Amino acid sequence: MRLEIIFTVTLCSVLTVFGCDVPLVHYKTMQCTPVGSRPDGCPERYECPSITAHDNNKCYFNGKTYEISESVPNEQIAKFCSVACYCRAANPVAKFRCGHVDCPEFFHRFDYDNCVRQYKGQSCCSSGTVCGQERDKLATCELENEIYREGQRMRFKDNKCRTCICTAGFNRNATDTDPNCFDTICGFELFGEKHLYGGGIPVYKEDVCCPWEWRTPKETDSVVKGAGKPATDSKLQCKYGKLTLDVGDSLNIQQREADGQKMSCSCQIPPLMHCMLN
């Protein structure tokens, strides 16, 4: 699902973890376990039981396994404008069924010049609107040369995976510990199970935290060998359809996406490859 409500996973720059210049948000969202370390700051690989030991009769979300008919706590899914999600049997894999929340603000024009919407925590809908002179009385926050008013969501220019809510006394130098700042949890486990567990790999778009979409194997795909040495451990390889790739290998894509954007896919940190849209 491309359009996900994302309010709050990295502590470094966008799409990276601990200085690792590889998009790893999908691993963090699934609560995969990093294994080993490389000189560039990246793990050697991840352990992802929800993928490598997947049970088609169970659902998976944020590191937890759900049995058929088991529900996800509403507070964990509110950020996705969803409610009452539960695991149900389906073919080929079990999937979550959720109710969708339509916020009142979705249906009204908004006076951006005179009003601000206010939010609390990782909610989907705004908690209220303040306009005119009352808006001018609100506390302000400064983040990366942008001014916000109390209750507004604040976005980081160099870290799209973290969001803060402007509050009185906000300290722009302490956003790592501010309780009103949140790391992103992506929603693809709730909405994209067919692609995720059907052999798909995450496709990232520049300046977007979560995977933009998932690419499934195509018959025309082939491997372009990299300069690295072949792996002696199969856990240090990426499996993609019928293909096996070593770290540094890339995918020879014989077609472009419908929107004309160029896609590059490679094996960087097993077990999954990833793609970038340029």
Say whether pLDDT at 262 is over 70.
Answer: yes
160-188 burial by CB neighbour count: b if 16+ within 10 A, else e?
A: bbbbbbbeeebeeeebeebebbbbbbbbb
> What is the torsional sign of CA 180, 208, 3, 156?
positive
Spatial neighbors of 249 by CB under 8 A, at least 6 apart, are 223, 224, 225, 226, 228, 238, 266, 267
Residue 16: band (very low, low, confident or very high) from pLDDT cuts 50, 70, 90: very low
How many percent of the chain have pLDDT more than 70?
Answer: 91
* Cα(197)–Cα(125) distance, integer angstroms: 30
Residue 102: band (very low, low, confident or very high) from pLDDT cuts 50, 70, 90: very high
Where is average pLDDT lowest: 43-57, 60-74, 143-157, 228-242? 228-242
With tokens 């996973």, the residue in question is 9
Q: Give the model's pLDDT for residue 255.
A: 57
* Cα(142)–Cα(146) distance, integer angstroms: 6
Strand partners of residue 141: 148
Say whether pLDDT at 89 is over 90.
Answer: yes
Cβ atoms of 80 and 93 within 8 Å: the answer is no
pLDDT tens figures, 20-31: 889 999 999 999
3-state secondary structure of 155: strand
Q: Give the model's pLDDT for residue 256.
A: 54
Residue 86: band (very low, low, confident or very high) from pLDDT cuts 50, 70, 90: very high
* Cα(225)–Cα(84) distance, integer angstroms: 46
Gyration radius of the chain over CA positions: 21
Say whether pLDDT at 214 is over 70.
Answer: yes
